[in-house]
Chain A
Amino acid sequence: MTKILLSGNEAIALGAWEAGVQYASAYPGTPSTEILENFARYPGIRAEWASNEKVALDNVIGASFGGARVLATMKHVGVNVAADSLMSLSYTGVRGGLVLVSADDPGAFSSQNEQDNRQYARFGKFPCIEPADSEEARRFVGIALEVSEGFETPVILRSTTRLSHSKSAVEARVPEKREFQPLPPFNREGGANRVIIPAVARRRHPEIEQRLRDVAAWAETTAFEIGLNSIFWGDGQLGIVTTGIAYQYAREIFPNASILKLGMSYPLPLQAIRDFAAQVKTLIVVEELDPFIEEQLKVAGIAVAHGKDCFPLCGELTLEKVRQGALKAGLLDVEAPEELPEETGMQLDVPSRPPALCPGCPHRAFFYNMARQKRKAIIAGDIGCYSMGVLEPFKAMDMLISMGASIGMAHGFKQAGGQEGVVATIGDSTFFHSGLSPLAAAVYNKAQITVAILDNRITAMTGQQHHPGTGITLQGAQGHDIDIAPVVKAMGVTFVEEVNAWDVKAVGTALKAALAHEDGPAVIIVRGACVFTPHFHLQPRMRVDPDKCVACHACLRVGCPAILKSEVLYEKNNRAKTMIDPLLCTGCTVCMQVCPTQAIERESE
């Protein structure tokens, strides 16, 4: 049997295709993004980028009601955006199987929090399925769809960064015939549950409580028969209840233990767990983030010897953290696999590699200007590469909380009575995600704020996905592209200026004019394509003329990785002159524009 390596995300896409998913919708977000990018390449399906996660979920809800098997994918915090529909979807139920992939981010590698989205399953009263490797990711998507259809419930398939971005072996069978029996055509009769007015909600609530009990009964029996839940018997000393990627750490650290591995982490098969507990001397729970399983076991009166008292509540689990937990619990006696030597070589001071805006980045001139304005203006940021405006050398961001929050926060800050100007910075993709409605409120309430829409023509930070502003669809077709300036004007903004992102002076002038504007919000649209897009034009690179450089370091204030300190000192101030790394420079000229002595020039000149 040939095996191939697939990432968890690639495997979810393959499994979805094999299980007959006909339509999928998503908004990009690390670590979920590659699922839909991969799914979109399979034949005979439709896959789309929605403008945000709620739209993605609403799209697949409609398709499910229409009879299609569907998939929505998003990062953990994206589920918050979709939660309004999700909570009531539990009440309406589904028709075609509906799986929502929540890609959580323990360790917050690229997120604003570490929320554990298994809690949504309990909160919303629907099942949660957690694969532990790529083969399971592929197989469990199909099971999740069957559970969804069988119990007429939405199902969360929960991944984590470690699962989504790790590759493990899956069986390389040629994608077989898609296993999907089309549902009967849409029938308006019998659709009373789909209009969730209060009378329906009151009737449905006891029904979904019963549905949850039915799924729990299924988890006790069928889930074990089909290998969704599994027991691996070891010795009777130690029994471990675990789920998802935590299982992989547990089985390595405790090779002799008996393990009850939950492929479905909600609802729990409490009787099976109780029986398992009776067969082992000590029962522990190894799970990442919240004590989600542990607390339910304790409430059910099952004795859990160790859980979050030993294994960390915060951060991603790792082999060493599980080993440390096992030592703390007295379940292991060896200190570490091997003794560490006294000298570990770390006497060396290793300089960090902080993230930075790329050479040529269209956000650079804006943040250079923002940094110069920051005594006079408060800056509300948003989610995107431009979050890096908070870093050295700009340090030009005062608040940042969630997608689309910048505009509402900016207006609110001004309402608190501050005399400073307030600038909201928001990207193009984020503006379409959740910037339109706060801008409507800002116009309506005559907010005295400046909104800088940093339009780099792509969803950049997640790896260049298209969005309504670019008009190219996920499957590569030409859709319709929405021009931001006319939209903003139509909403009633009386100050709208578009400016070239690499023109330092023009960006500064626009910013000052916007801050002086008094008739409602002022909008400047800073336009320039991300360096990773085909629209970015590489130009002849720049060089520093050492004879003209006076080591004032003005160019270092643009925060470009291509600008280095050279070994040549300027004799009058004894500081290092600068130089430009020819391999990194894109010729964007921002450094040239800020050099007071015209020491920076194009190499070809």
Chain B
Amino acid sequence: MIDQMNFLFVGVGGQGVLTASDIAAQVGLDLGLDAKKSEVHGFAQRGGVVESHIRWAPSVGSPTCEYGTVDVLMSFELLEAARWLDWLRPGGTVIVNRQQITPMSASVGNAVYPPEEEILAALRTRAGRVIVVDALPLAEQAGNSRTVNTIMLAALSTLLDTDPAVWETAILQRVPDKYNEVNRVAFRLGQEAARA
């Protein structure tokens, strides 16, 4: 049974990172642990970097993880996984959505969005395990592109020594009733993708 975990969820504004981190913190409480989560939201504008820390322990002190000690880095966007990689504990797990959202420094400026294989290779230099999920097409397959965060949480639920039903319940409690079915489907698809 898990008694302590440090998660870092990252992505781009509008991807549902903060909702997913709320759910992950709730799962910690549901498992009988203490949980805290922390993110900084200042500028309301779209498209910025989003980071959210989630910690589970018998008693959590700091709401943010310590640099270099994150057990699971879950990135909702490919490039962001590389940006936050050094927060990962060496040998930790990366779950990364293949979706690419081009930053303005690359779309307008002269910066280059590195190719997928280079990013994945970089992730593997530090992570013990890298799981790539193609969450956007799966979400569309489930019936709603906004279920990307459910797909990602489902993938995460398969990797931890926790009952996936706890995760599914926490997700369904968080979303409006009319979206329960689409999220159930998305949860199955996310689990299958992570096991594949």
Contact = CB atoms under 8 A, between A and B. Distances in A.
B61 A249 contact: yes
B47 A320 contact: no
Contacts of B102: 564
Nearest to B60: A168
Interface string A1-21: 001110000000000000000
Interface stretch (B108-116, B147-155, B177-185, B187-195): B108-116
Interface string B12-42: 1000000000100110010000111111111
Contact of A559 (B26, B29, B108, B112): B108
Nearest to B126: A345
Nearest to A107: B40
22 contacts: A31-B42, A109-B42, A167-B25, A169-B29, A337-B66, A337-B69, A337-B89, A338-B90, A341-B126, A344-B125, A346-B82, A346-B86, A348-B118, A348-B119, A350-B82, A352-B103, A353-B47, A353-B48, A353-B49, A385-B45, A556-B108, A561-B47
B43 to A, nearest CB: 5
Contact of B35 (A31, A110, A169, A355): A169
A119 interface: no
Contacts of A461: 43-45
B144 to A, nearest CB: 15
A349 B114 contact: yes
Nearest to B63: A166
Contacts of A393: 108
B136 to A, nearest CB: 11
Contacts of A444: none
Interface stretch (A90-98, A181-189, A356-364): A356-364
Interface in B109-155: 109, 111-114, 118-119, 122-126
Contact of A353 (B40, B66, B69, B104): B104
Interface of B: 12, 22, 25-26, 29, 34-49, 60-69, 79, 82-83, 85-86, 89-90, 102-109, 111-114, 118-119, 122-126
Given A346-B86, A356-B47, A351 B106 contact: yes
A418 interface: no
A344 to B, nearest CB: 5
A319 B64 contact: yes
Contacts of B29: 3-5, 169
Given A349-B112, A351-B79, A564-B107, A5 B37 contact: yes
Given A162-B63, A252-B61, A345-B86, A354 B105 contact: yes
A337 B92 CA distance: 14
A154 to B, nearest CB: 28
Given A318-B66, A345-B86, A563-B108, 4 more contacts: A165-B39, A168-B35, A320-B67, A338-B69
Closest 7 CB pairs of A and B: A110-B42, A351-B111, A166-B63, A345-B122, A166-B38, A319-B66, A252-B61
Contacts of A318: 62, 64, 66-67
Given A355-B43, A355-B48, A167 B36 contact: yes
B34 A169 contact: yes
Max chain A Cβ within 10 angstroms of own Cβ: one of B38, B44, B48, B126 = B44
Contacts of A110: 40, 42-43
B108 A358 contact: no
A109 B61 contact: no
Contacts of A251: 61
A248 interface: yes
Contacts of B106: 351
A346 B66 contact: no
A483 interface: no
B68 A340 contact: yes
B62 A249 contact: yes
Contacts of B79: 350-351
B122 A337 contact: no
Nearest to A385: B45
A352 B44 contact: no
A207 to B, nearest CB: 41
Contacts of A344: 85-86, 125-126
A323 interface: yes
Contacts of B43: 110, 355, 385, 461
Contact of A561 (B22, B35, B107, B118): B107
A348 B122 contact: yes
B83 A5 contact: no
Interface string A531-553: 01000000000000000000000
A57 interface: no
A247 to B, nearest CB: 8
A319 B62 contact: yes
Interface string A483-523: 00000000000000000000000000000000000000000
Interface in A13-67: 30-31
Contacts of B118: 348
A110 B45 CA distance: 12
A569 B189 CA distance: 39
A345 B125 CA distance: 6
B64 A343 contact: no
Given A169-B35, A358-B46, A351 B113 contact: yes
A161 interface: yes
Nearest to A167: B37
Nearest to A108: B42
Interface string A370-402: 000000000000000100100011000000000
A358 B47 contact: yes
A336 interface: yes
A462 interface: yes
B63 A353 contact: no
Interface in A534-586: 556, 559, 561, 563-565, 584
